[in-house]
Structure 1
């Protein structure tokens, strides 16, 4: 069933019980319940005692990129039933699904039954800052900080590793327009380093232009954003791909920790 406005608020509270495993969909509902963003529909297997929750973005075309479906489940039998029988997931179109790594084989098995090709895109550490006071002191007195705006979208699209396409532009525009962001400006008022927040409330898209690296901008941005999120009541976390040792070391040095049993992954179906 599809959740209405009031049910979304109740679901947010319920998901808090399952942190950190529910963090991604919990973050989605937190932002959705407070801020404007791209259209998204949230489904559950039953109400109010749901075991499966699916966040499905509105797709304007069959092969929309960066419109990830995010799934939480605390009952694998119910998850399998939902995937196999429900129309919530349209297996005929391109899909990118984010879920706990524990559910990988269920998704792959159901896709195989439906003759849908699948591949694993990424497995990520879930790095969480439990206490904002654990952030180290960072001197930002000599740094000009600001928020990003729509005039910066082209720059972000050119430098993002998944960018350089119209779909990425739309995703970045949604993030810059609706969600918190932070950037370091040069003497001409142009961004040279930045950090955004995804639709699941995770910090991401951290980047510093090559000629401005080695100045500690990343640490300033992460600490600034973490404090802002904390002040506004949002979780402070990010996803780091398992092979990204440099980012893992950076966030760890700033007090972020992980539950080794809690990994998140993205699976692709009907690859374009």
Structure 2
């Protein structure tokens, strides 16, 4: 495998746009790498310039990888052959927004309370995230808040977040959450709308992954104009090491 340099990464970003939806997440990683200096991610290809395989590898001990569901058997077979313990974490719809004009306006009362997260909110996000409450997740969330766009609704009295959405290193929106006592007020819809407009205006790909069983979030994003390729699913696999 050959590790790509800065010039090659800029070339790859253009090439990957022609391979959506399969290349969407890798494209998101490359998009961020070319613009933001955060936690290092190494990018490898099987050969250059005509590559068939591209790999984004965060420099962490624990590895979670995403691939098209059609490659599940191959991924697990390679892990088994190398005696690497792993399991399938989630299977997701990939939802993209092509036309932000369908997004509803954010109510002025909510809009006035929208802000960005800061690093002091790391523990709050971590303890409410489905895959949080681990040392590596704290580091990841802190890095996301520090380097990438985020959006939250602040409580009028405490000025603490009561709902939020973040951006993963792959540019995908995620960790959307509203505290239990503040649900039913349209905060999630307002956050997704506000964040989507902001990302679109800055040239980001606007998309997210939604687990197949999460019908509530699927309906939310569909109603906001997000669409999917019905033939495509993304699957996450968790491995201890590579």
Normalising TM by the smaller chain, what interval? over 0.9
Q: 2:123 aligns with which of 154, 159, 163?
A: 154
Q: Give 1:215's aligned residue.
A: 185
Q: Where in structure 2 are the equivalents of 1:153-172 lying within 5 Å?
A: 153-172=122-141
Q: 2:65 aligns with which of 97, 102, 127?
A: 97
Q: Give 1:58's aligned residue.
A: 59
Distance 1:55 1:47, change over 3 A: same
Q: Where in structure 2 are the equivalents of 1:75-90 lying within 5 Å?
A: none
The two structures have a TM-score, normalised by structure 2, of 0.94
Tell me, in whole angstroms, the C-alpha distance in 1 between the residues paired with 2:78 and 2:55: 16
Structure 1, unaligned runs of 5 or more: 65-94
SS in structure 2 of the partner of residue 206 of structure 1 = strand
Distance 1:158 1:111, change over 3 A: closer
Tell me, in whole angstroms, the C-alpha distance in 2 between the residues paired with 1:154 and 1:112: 35
Q: Which has the higher contact order (CA 8 A, sep 6+)?
A: 2
SS in structure 2 of the partner of residue 42 of structure 1 = strand
Tell me, in whole angstroms, the C-alpha distance in 2 between the residues paired with 1:209 and 1:28: 29
Can you list the C-alpha shifts for 1:14-45, whole angstroms capped at 9, x where unaligned? Answer: 10110111000000000110112111100000
Q: 1:175 aligns with which of 144, 160, 179?
A: 144
Tell me, in whole angstroms, the C-alpha distance in 1 between the residues paired with 2:84 and 2:36: 35
How many residue pairs get aligned? The number is 238
Can you list the C-alpha shifts for 1:40-93, whole angstroms capped at 9, x where unaligned? Answer: 10000011111110000112xx4x3xxxxxxxxxxxxxxxxxxxxxxxxxxxxx
SS in structure 2 of the partner of residue 36 of structure 1 = coil
Deviation at 1:270, TM superposition (A): 4.6
8 Å CA contact 2:95–2:221 kept in 1: the answer is yes
Q: 1:118 aligns with which of 73, 77, 86?
A: 86
Can you list the C-alpha shifts for 1:102-153, whole angstroms capped at 9, x where unaligned? Answer: 2111112222333334321111000111111121333244441100001111
The two structures have a TM-score, normalised by structure 1, of 0.84
Does structure 1 residue 45 correspond to structure 2 residue 46? yes
Does structure 1 residue 26 correspond to structure 2 residue 27? yes
Structure 2, unaligned runs of 5 or more: none
